[in-house]
Every structure is written in C-alpha cells, then in structure tokens.
Amino acid sequence: MAPQGFTFRAGPAECNLLQAANTFWAALTPDQKALTLQAIQRDPSLWPGTVKILEPLTFGSLRIDSGTVLTVKEVNGNEVNLIHPGVRGNLVVSAQNTDLFARARELVATPLNERPGRMADLLKAATIDVDGKPVALQPAHYYVIYFAGSTCPRCKIFTPQLVEHFNKTLANRKDVAFVTWPSDQATSLMLTYARKNMIPWPTVPLEKIDVLSKEEEMLSRNGVINLPGILVVDRFGSPLLATSKLNGQPLDAANAALAQLDTVLKDGSIKPGN
C-alpha cells in the first residue's frame, strides 16, 4: 500500500497480525515450537543446504538482492556463514535476514533418516571426470574425500590400494560418494594421474577447491590432513573418520583408515550433532 521504499505503522486492532500469528503457531508441531537458534547450531542435520536472503544486503561493493539463494557453510550463534561466488572469504549474515528458521523447522519435522543434508549442495556442480568434463556427484549418505597429489610418493603406493578396495567392496554402493581433493598446481596433472591409476570417482578441480577449502569448516575442524589422506563425513558434514586423527606417519594413517573404512560405512547410524 505504501510507495516503494516507504513503510507505515498499524496497530494490533487495525490488522490481523495476532490472528495470523496464532494460526501459524497452532499449526506447528511440538518439535517445531521448541526449536531455537542454539539447537540449530548444535545439530548439523538441521542446517539446510541453502537459505534465501529476505532483504537486500550490502557488503562493500557487493549487493545481494532479496530472494537470492546461497549455500550454507555453517550456523554459528545468531549468524549464518554462507558461500557466495563473488566472495573469497566468509560471508556472515544475521540469521534473521534469512529463512534459516523456516527451513530448519521443515527439517526438524522430517525424520532424521529422511533429512537431505548439505553436502550435496556444497559439492553440487563442483566435480569433473577424468576427461575434465563436469559430472554430477549423486547425493549420498556418506562422502569419502581422498586427499592426494600426483607427485606424492606415498600416494603412488596408496592410491592403487584404495582403488582396488573401492572396486571390490564399494563400487556398487549408492549411498557412498567418493571424490578426490587434489593438491596439484594444475588440475590437468591430477586428471592424468587419475587416468593412469584408473581412479573411478570424480575430482574437485583446483578452481573449486580454492573456494571450498576456504569456506567449508569440515576441513579445518579435522586439522591438517597429510597426503595421502582420507576424510569421511555424513551427508550433514559431520566427520566420521579422518586420517588426521589417527596415529602414525601419513601412509600408516591412510592404511589404518582404509582398514576401518568398511566398518564406518557399514554402520549407517546418524546421530544429530556428531
């Protein structure tokens, strides 16, 4: 009713705010009513893959229009850390400026084993095949990230073992997604390495790694992962296995992770907040 850019005030008796609020509240489940921002922060299964910006935001020369949908990195206190293609660092937005709460309420009303998680959104359009062509990484229950380098002498020993293990026991698992996280100076070097070693899963190219490694806390939470390295997370990004947490030299830790891999992936249990 007001001209664009202007607002006006109306008293409770002059509008149906109270009636609409009561109707909305009555339709919520007990879990939805009990949900708090602190509860969302503690439970990654309640972090939506994306959120929508509710009002225009300005960060220096960057303007984000209302209605823009961005990928969620982390929920921290009253703020949401988001991934934006034009930002090479944290894009921190107040939760009240997003539809985080509405999306989390939808998730809390969904059985845990049916919640989609955010890893699929994080890695969406971020992987390529051995020929360098974009390939979609199918949403999965588990994500196994293999850290390797084409010139790493330890990787030359470990990679054939991992590929053999994958082909024997994991190739037909629809609930497991593998991806290589290379340390090379050029994506082409890792693709040549992948073809030589017949690595059957996709790779994250360097231009995507530069964004994801800065924005995704799952890496820094698990410390420095040496080569060869393995990180297993569930679809919510919660770590289940990491070579950085295992004893021994990098190759010993990688072998220990490989020995535990089937057990970790067989368990199938997801506990909120892990």
Separation in Å, CA 49 to CA 52, 69, 143, 168, 175: 11, 10, 15, 32, 18
From CA 146, how far away is CA 10, in angstroms rounded?
A: 58
Full set of structural domains in the chain with CATH:
15-114 (2.30.30.40), 119-267 (3.40.30.10)
For residue 111, the model assigns a pLDDT of 92
The ranges of the chain with pLDDT < 50 are: 214-217, 269-274
Token representation of residue 230: 């393995």
For residue 2, the model assigns a pLDDT of 64
Query: Could you give the angle at the alpha carbon of 271 between the alpha carbons of 266 and 273, nearest 5°?
Result: 135
- The predicted model scores a pTM of 0.76
Torsion of CA 92, 93, 95, 97, to 10 degrees: -170
Contact predicate 189/195, CB 8 Å: no
86's enclosing H/E stretch is: none
For residue 214, the model assigns a pLDDT of 46
How many CA atoms does the CB half-sphere of 79 hold within 13 Å? Answer: 7
Using alpha carbons, select from 238, 219, 232 the residue that is nearest to residue 264. 232
- Within 10 angstroms of residue 56's Cβ, the number of other Cβ atoms is 12
From CA 32, how far away is CA 24, in angstroms rounded?
A: 11
